Amino acid sequence: MEILAAAARLFAARGFHGVSIEDIGGAVGVSGPALYRHFSGKDALLAEMLLDVSSRLRESAAAVVTSSSGPDETLDALLNVQITFAIEQPALITVHDRELGNVPEPARRQIRRLQRLYVEEWVTVLAELHPACPPARLRAATHAVFGLLNSTPHSAGELPAPSMRPLLRAMAHAAIGAAVNTH
């Protein structure tokens, strides 16, 4: 949705509290009050934005896990989902990192639940690949890989996406290897 994308760019650039509903409306060519037809307020818009991205990531992971033929292929597909997100949605990464605390509590719980489910898809695949590795270590490795991949807003524009993708993939594999091979 155009409104959510515009709000994400504004929130990433100026912070949640530095953006008014009028700013968001202006970014999509409508008056600020016109946005109230879609959202009850700025916090509801932020909640919808983060719920939407969390749902999409979770659904993508579930689709990958159910359609891939084996754990190696599944891990590569999961990496592709996360790398694509990291490269194409740096504003959403920034907004999530900085603004999740501004989401009303019921929606924040939903977002966190979706994120936990997303992580568990990864942990399940990694457990198939590395059955001797404890799940807590695989979970920690998954979060570390997300941190690595989601650091792309800090390097946006440094490398073109065709160069960034293989770099991120290699680094993610190296991080997973380090996690499962050191005890």
14 in any annotated domain: no
Whichever domain contains 60, its CATH number is 1.10.357.10
Q: 94-107 pLDDT, tens per residue?
A: 999 999 999 999 99
**pTM for the whole structure:** 0.91
Alpha carbons 27 and 105: distance in angstroms, whole number: 27
100 in any annotated domain: yes
Which has the closest alpha carbon to 124: 170, 71, 63?
Answer: 71
103 phi-psi bin (left φ>0, alpha ψ -120 to 50, beta other): beta
7 in any annotated domain: no
6 in any annotated domain: no
Q: 116-166 pLDDT, tens per residue?
A: 999 999 999 999 999 999 999 999 999 999 999 999 877 767 778 888 899
Range(s) of the domain holding residue 103: 42-181
125 in any annotated domain: yes
10 in any annotated domain: no
Q: How many domains does the chain have?
A: 1
Q: Is the dihedral of CA 149, 115, 97, 92 positive or negative?
A: positive
113 in any annotated domain: yes
